[in-house]
Amino acid sequence: MIGTLRFIFEIIGTGGSAICPVSNTRNFPFNEWTTLSIPIQESEFIQVTGDWESLMANVTELRIAFDYYSSNETLGMDNFRITSSLPAIDFSANEIAIFTGDYIAFTDLTLNDPYQWLWNFGDDDSAIIKNPIHQLSVKVYIIFH
């Protein structure tokens, strides 16, 4: 079962306020935890009062208003985190050198809570999942880390 969630994220501070309305709805699996990330970038927000620089200099409150519908679920929040840190990219692989046709499993070890991935394997193939497994299609593949 899929439920539909609409929400508004609001930042409030002594320098003003800004909102990020999510007008398009997102589908979330029923009875499963889902990561929801909202980039804190000026281009994503509508400035309600004040200016962006003054607001970011002294944030005093964050509000998230949810409108959950399409079922009779309860919405819960856990591990709420705000950071200005960029992801510190790191990974591991189960092999160092493999040959054509072999599979290699990559494990994401990135710090600062990434919420999306783009792996480029160097052989015209890519993946957007956190921990991909890739079959090598070139002659020799050596992982430099």
Host domain of residue 113: 91-142
What is the DSSP code (8-state) at residue 87? Answer: P
The reported pLDDT for the residue numbered 1 is: 45
| Model pLDDT, residue 16 | 92
CA dihedral of 92, 95, 99, 104, whole degrees rounded to 10: -50
Residue 106 has what pLDDT?
93
Contacts of residues 130-134 at CB distance under 8 Å and 24 or more positions apart, as own/partner, are 131/105, 131/106, 131/107, 132/105, 132/106, 133/103, 133/104, 133/105, 133/106, 134/103, 134/104, 134/106
End residue of a domain, out of 18, 39, 69: 69
Alpha-carbon span 88 to 130, nearest angstrom? 14
pLDDT at 129: 93
**12, 51: one domain:** yes
Domain co-membership, 98 together with 53: no
Residues in contact with 11: Cβ distance below 8 Å, sequence separation at least 6, in sequence order: 17, 18, 19, 40, 45, 55, 59, 61, 62
57 & 95 share domain: no
Angle at 83 between CA 78 and CA 84, to 5 degrees: 160
Tell me if 118 is assigned to some domain. yes
Residues 98 and 49 in one domain: no
Structural domain total, the chain = 2
What parts of the chain have a pLDDT lower than 70? 1-6, 22-37, 67-84, 139-145
Same-domain pairing of 48 and 100: no
Residue 27 lies in a domain: yes
Residue 36 pLDDT: 64
pTM of the model: 0.47
Rg of the chain taking only CA atoms, in angstroms: 20
